[in-house]
Amino acid sequence: MAKTTRSRRRGRTSAAVTDIANYSSAVRYLYDRVDFERTRLIRFNEDMFKLDRMHALLEKLGNPHEQVKMVHVAGTVGKGSTVAMISAMLRGCGYTVGQFTSPHLIDVRERITVNEQMISRPDFTELMRQIAEVAKKSKTEPTFFELITLAAFKYFAEQAVDIAIIEVGLGGRLDCTNVITPLISIVGTIDLDHTQILGGTLDKIAREKAGIFKKDVPAVTFEQDDKIENAMREVAEEVGAPFRVINKDIEFSSRFGASPDLGPHTRVCLITETSQFMHIPVPLPGEHQAINCGLALAVIDHLKSCGFDFPEVELHEGLSRTYTPGRMELIWQQPRILVDGAHNAASLSAMMRCVGAHVPYDSMVCIFGCCEDKDIPTMLDRLALGGDKVIFTRAKGNARAADPEDLQREFTERSGKMNQVAASFPEALDLATRAVGRDDLICVTGSFYLVGEAKKHLADLEKQRAN
């Protein structure tokens, strides 16, 4: 199996789509498509989410998704962290790894990487041109997410990656990544989210997530509510997927501790018939990351049976280099500003516990904005557990963003904590900066869109200072 990055992008011909002449026009073409990530969904219609168009376009493109070995990762909470840990271990062992994730924080090309390097602007432009030409000839109109998924599959095939780790965008069953037949399917922690699309109960959501299961493809999840496990087990039996639950069918344990070299951290053990991963340090902060690390190790265990080799030292070193931008990321020192795209109640609760365990501070000011289709009351309750003061705002350009004044009214009814409203992130940051002292912490959370805006704004400030 090859372990070096190769490219097959030679001798290609340009597609005759005159409106995609450069990178800017390619991005404009992409953003002109329907984008369900940012669009208000008034009513769920299954016609919006179906795979027929993806299958047809992939066939016209030569079915690139069938040319790459893949791992498929779904779940409500922890998908990105799980993907990052799987990818880091594979890269540490010398493999060329494609990674497809969402959403992006600043640059749309963040979604498509090979060995942590974003797809180049020329390659992105050429892929958009080719896909647009195919769509035009097929007289079809792909969505934003279909386009970026098609581009990822084709890019990974052209780069001849050894394996690609594919994160589900929304749900599972009808998500446009669900055209692949992976080596293994993973479903992480499930919670109430996108209920207007996926269903209003945990078992309904679990069935949608388990929609990625395929016949004879191993499927793994972590121990959780019986309703969730039973729903996924039923789907697995229906499609003929071998199904196992970590901490039940797979032996697992974790413990939280501290050491001089690593500080506070969690260690996990996962034991199968073929592997013994003992006392592995979880590279990401927070006890909740033990679950995601367990899932990642289960993937590595299965990949051994698929011809992949994982020397122990390289595996551990690769895992230790896991990086997850926008998650528990300290991006500014004076004042200290931490960003975390905790976009639902479960992830917000986990983030608050993680900050309490790993980041010393006197008081915390939260800059918070979220999408209107979230479980806002529960999110606000979780926010009140950690934030000493909250400044409500909204990410610009996101039609799904909740009105900050609505958030403030509900928060005030549910909590007596200090709060304010800001019309924009820069205004919110100015209010927060004036409210904190040297040992305090500003935490930007509630939405990856808001976190992305924060990172870009602060990067621009840094450039201005340098000039």
Over residues 395-425, the pLDDT tens digits come to 987 888 999 999 999 999 999 899 999 999 9
Residue 199 has pLDDT above 70, yes or no: no
Cis peptide before 103 (omega within 30 of 0): yes
The pLDDT of residue 420: 96
Alpha helices (H) along 73-143: 79-92, 121-137
247/385: higher pLDDT: 247
Instruction: Write down the CATH number for the domain with range 23-320.
Output: 3.40.1190.10
* Whole-number pLDDT of residue 194: 58
Whole-angstrom distance, CA of residue 451 vs CA of residue 369:
9
pLDDT value at 315 more than 60:
yes
Distance of CA 201 to the CA centre of its chain: 22
Q: What is the per-residue pLDDT for 357?
A: 83
Write the DSSP assignment of 382-443 as a string of letters. HHHHH-SEEEE---TT-TTBPPHHHHHHHHHHH--SEEEE-SSHHHHHHHHHHH--TT-EEE
Q: Is the pLDDT of residue 362 over 90?
A: yes
pLDDT of residue 11: 36
End-to-end CA distance of the chain: 48
pLDDT tens-place string over residues 121-169: 999 999 999 999 999 999 988 999 999 999 999 999 999 999 999 999 9
Q: What ranges do the domains of the chain cover?
A: 23-320, 329-466
Neighbours of 74 (CB within 10 A): 30
Q: Is residue 278 exposed (0-12), middle (13-18) or buried (19+ Cβ within 10 Å)?
A: exposed
Q: Are strands 441-445 and 336-340 parallel, antiparallel or unpaired?
A: parallel
Comparing CA positions, the residue from 144, 139, 111 lying closest to residue 34 is 144
Percent of all residues in the chain with a pLDDT value above 70, rounded to a whole number? 91
CB-side neighbour CA atoms (13 Å) of 126 = 14
- pLDDT confidence band for 375 (50 / 70 / 90): confident
pLDDT-wise least confident of 42-56, 68-82, 152-166, 365-379:
42-56
**How far apart are the C-alpha atoms of 225 and 232, rounded to whole Å?**
11
Instruction: Return all residues near 120 (Cβ < 8 A) that are at least 6 apart.
Output: none
Encoded amino acid at 378, one letter:
T
- pLDDT of res. 4: 44
* CATH superfamily, region 329-466: Mur ligase, C-terminal domain (3.90.190.20)
Q: What is the band of 295 on the pLDDT scale with cuts at 50, 70, 90? A: very high
pLDDT of 113 over the 70 cut: yes
Among 211-215, 307-311, 312-316, 372-376, name the one with the lowest average pLDDT. 372-376
Within a 10 A sphere around the Cβ of 351, how many other Cβ atoms? Answer: 25
Say if residue 91's pLDDT is above 90. yes
Burial class (CB in 10 A: 0-12, 13-18, 19+), 303: buried
- On average, the pLDDT of the chain sits at 90
Q: For a pLDDT cut of 90, what percent of the chain falls above it?
A: 76
- 452: closest CA among 23, 35, 110? 110
Rounded-to-5 percentages of helix, strand, coil across the chain: 40, 20, 40
C-alpha span between 452 and 331 (Å, rounded): 11
- CA neighbours within 13 Å on the CB side: how many for 310? 27
Lowest mean pLDDT: which of 154-163, 293-302, 458-467? 458-467
pLDDT at 14 over 70: no
Residue 136 to residue 285: CA distance in whole angstroms: 46
The yes-or-no verdict on residue 358 having pLDDT over 90 is no
Contact status, residue 4 vs residue 122, Cβ threshold 8 Å: no
